[in-house]
Structures are given as C-alpha cells and as structure tokens.
Structure 1
Amino acid sequence: MTIESKKYQISDALSERRDRPSVGLIVLNTDFTFERDFVRMYTEQKPDYDFYFNRIYFANPMTPESLAAIGDDLTEAAALILPNYDLDLVVFNCTSSSSIVGDEAIELAIQESKPTAKVLSTSQAVVANFKARGFKKISVLTPYSEEVSSLLRGYLERNGVEMVSSMHMDMDDDRDVAMLPADEIIKAAKAAIHNDADAIFISCTAMRSAEIIPEIEAAIGKPVFTSNQATFDQISNMIENLHT
C-alpha cells in the first residue's frame, strides 16, 4: 500500500489575516463594563484590527495605593496576551490607575514583555479625545473618592486639560460603580455640569456611561465623552496612523 504525502499550502487569505493589526487590551479583573462597551462599539464601527483581552489583578477598595499597585503586574499581563507574539498596540484600561501609575511607567512595563508594541492608557486616550474634539474647558464627573479624583485631575491638568468644575460620587468599589443605573448617571451628570464647560468627561471604565451618551447629552445640552468611548476612539486613531 502506497501512502501519498502532501504539503499543505497556506492560503493567501490566511496570510492576509495575519497581516491585520493586533490590539491587546488589559482590563481589571473586577471590571464588568469595559469589554461589553468595547465589543458593542467594535461591532457597530467594524474597525480593521483584531483584539485580544487579558485581565489584571485588582483588590478593592479604590485607593491611591491599590490603584498604583496594578502597575506592578502590567508586564506579566501584557506577556500573557498571545505569548511570544508581537502586538501592534497594548492598551491598559483603567482611568484612575493609569493616571496614578503614569504614562512612562506604563509604557516601560508593557514594553518589557511586548517591546515592539505601541502603548496606550485610558488616561492618555481621554486627553487625546479632549484635544481632538477641540474642547477648551470641561466639567469632570468621577465615581471615586476626592483623594483619587484629585490625582486624576492633576494628571489632566498636567496634560493641558482645563477643568471648570469637578464632582465625585465617593464610591470605593468599581463593581458597585458598574451597577449604577442609567438614571443615576444622568442625574449625576446634570449636577456636575458647569455653564462654562464645553463638555463633560465621565470617568471610569467600569461606569456604564458610554452606552447612554445620547441620553446624557440630551439631559445636559452639552457634549459628553467617557473613558471607554475615548479609549475606543483613540485605538482606532492609533491603528490608522500605524498604516498611513
């Protein structure tokens, strides 16, 4: 009996698929919201890249210390996204933590395991969205304590964001933040907006604000941008720029 041996040829379609940009997304293990927001926006807008999630450890409550500690695990969290495979972009998705850990530290930690990847954090994306949309002055709404909120405000100010008002909801567990109903978020936004603000920024990847942006804008009469929406927009911008 003769056995014929053949070599399988990889199709052109598969080769093209491997050439699509790849984005790694690091999400807190306590975050109920970011993934569902991201998948919804991805499905609606159909951008030309592939994405891969990984979760990173976080221990509530949300304090400056616990949020800063997340930075220690960024190298491993990035490494576990398609191990030994290059990614075009790795994104750390947490507004408060990224503003505390800092841009340089986040980039160094992620590029230790993904050295060729571009790096983005939620706080960087928020600043980029503020500038891209031409806002001059904003109001800020956060779910955090005043201590954590003040650190976020400091980051925004250092990066050229002018704030005319800020309101915090004094919550210490991001799982509770994810359970806030739409009417409570809208109510808080109405209380937080200032007449002199061009827009309101609603912070936290856990808060379910991105899905109700039109409702919030109708309630306050001004533009709204959020952590998850800003991050998605900036990912798309960065991927587009990589290939132009």
Structure 2
Amino acid sequence: METEIPAMLLARSTLFPEQRFTFHSSRMRMMNVTPEELKAMDVASDRCAIELSDARCDVMAYACLVAIMAQGNGYHRNSQERLQSTVKENNVSIPVISSAGALIDTLKAFDFNKVSIITPYMKPLTQRVVDYIQAEGITVKDAISLEVADNLAVGLLNPENLLEQVQRLDHEGVDAVILSACVQMPSLPSIQRAQDLIGKPVLSASVATVYQMLKTLGLETKVPDAGYVLSGTHKCR
C-alpha cells in the first residue's frame, strides 16, 4: 500500500500533470500473518482512521485485504461502515474504502465472474480468501499460495517471480487474473507484463484500490502500465 499506491498516483502525472496527491498512512501492528494477529490488526483500524482523519484526507483506504476477509464473508461492508462512523466522530466526512471491498467491487464492475489468484499466504488463509470471493458470486478457478508467513518477508518478495508463477496458474477460461491478492506483496512492476504474457486482464488488490480511490474522487481511472482496470479504455458498470 505504502509503495505501490503512491507509485501509481505519481505515474498519473505524465497524463494529468495538473493533478497532485499527498499520501498519509497510519499503521496497525502485524508481524506474522495469522488469524490472531489479523483480528488484532482489524481492531486497531479504528485508531488509525481517527489519526488519519486529522489530516482531512479526501479519501481513506484500509489496506490489509486478508485482515478483512479473515473476519468472515462480507465483512468489508461492516468494516467500512464502522470506520466511516468512527471518522464522523471526529467531525469530518471522509469516504472510506478497503482493499478487500475494492477488489470485490472492481471484479463486479468489470464483470470478472471467474478469476484465478496468487497470494503470499499459507494455504488455509488463501482458502479463506477464495471462500470470501466466491461468497460474492465470483468463481475462483485456481489459487497459488506462496506460503510466506512473515509479513516483512512478504513485502520483500520479488515481483519478477510472479511472471513465472502466473504461467503455473490455471487461467484457462477465466475473465481475469489477480496477480497479488495482497497489498503487501509487490506486483506492480509485473502487472502489465503478466497481462501481455497471458493475454488476459491482470489486476491486483493494490490496482483495485487505486481504481476505487480515483473513482471515489471523481477522477479518470487511468494509470500507465498498470493493466486492464487502470487502462482507461474499458467500460465497466
């Protein structure tokens, strides 16, 4: 979230030089990607929302996809509603989205009804993500788990390796591939290249988050070399 989202917003300056962004973040603690730490992380999201609301941002995004999805199907709606109320208690109105909700909403907006995914998670957590997506009416044909439990190690994974992983992934007949179903796992340098390689739309949780942020701000949803969703050339619902 803290590297790829600013990178995408900065890349827009080549297309929209008049638009400038500032990026602010507040952190929830997590060292190992376990259900217990994910639950504690989610509880801390209220504190982070209050802290960021002091900056009077134009849009706020809750980053951790699996922290949301681990709490049960459809939880992104509960989380976003709760955080929205939390922000209002600070006498400010800021739209709140989440990477989990952004991914689901973007898949639906582009009619991506069947997908395959790559995650850094251990297999049980990947299955939780698969179940969550499928509960939203989207079929997951295949999923690759890289099985990296250390959250810092996830952030240090080489995105170049995803080009090899995407070729192992069964993407026959899918509408799109989610190259990284995690905003912590780097994927941006490989999004467009993976799409060119397999000939299907490729996105990530971070790409979906930027798409929904730009949409919320009323700005053109276009970022260079960031794949199908942010190409600005495809109609969606």
TM-score range, shorter chain: 0.7 to 0.9
CA distance in 2, matches of 1:118, 1:82: 10
Q: Which ranges of structure 2 fall in alignment gaps of 5 or more residues?
A: 220-237
Question: Which of 41, 50, 73 is the equivalent residue of 2:44?
Answer: 73
Question: What is the RMSD of the two structures over their aligned residues, measured on CA atoms?
Answer: 2.1
CA distance in 2, matches of 1:157, 1:49: 37
Q: 1:74·1:109 contact (CA, 8 Å) conserved in 2?
A: no
1:103 corresponding residue in structure 2: 76
Query: What amino acid does structure 2 have at the position aligned with 1:91?
Result: A
Q: 2:9·2:21 contact (CA, 8 Å) conserved in 1?
A: no
Question: Which of 63, 67, 79 is the equivalent residue of 1:93?
Answer: 63
1:188-216 per-residue CA deviation (whole Å, 9 max, x = no partner) reads 11112321212211211112112221221
2:147 corresponding residue in structure 1: 170
Return the structure number with greater strand share. 1
2:5 corresponding residue in structure 1: 38
CA distance in 2, matches of 1:127, 1:108: 16
TM alignment of 1:6-45, pairs within 5 A: 34-45=1-12
CA distance in 1, matches of 2:176, 2:53: 38
Query: What amino acid does structure 2 have at the position aligned with 1:181?
Result: N
Structure showing greater Rg: 1
CA distance in 2, matches of 1:41, 1:86: 21
- Alpha-carbon spacing, 1:109–1:74, altered in 2? closer, same or farther (3 Å): farther
CA distance in 1, matches of 2:153, 2:60: 27
Stretches (4+) displaced over 6 A:
none
**Counterpart check, 1:206 vs 2:209:** no
TM (normalized to structure 2)? 0.79
1:129 Cα deviation after fit: 1.7
Identity across matched positions, percent? 20
CA distance in 2, matches of 1:96, 1:64: 9
- Alpha-carbon spacing, 1:87–1:181, altered in 2? closer, same or farther (3 Å): closer
CA distance in 2, matches of 1:104, 1:134: 20
Count, aligned residues: 207
Q: 2:58·2:95 contact (CA, 8 Å) conserved in 1?
A: yes
Q: 1:122·1:231 contact (CA, 8 Å) conserved in 2?
A: yes
TM (normalized to structure 1)? 0.77
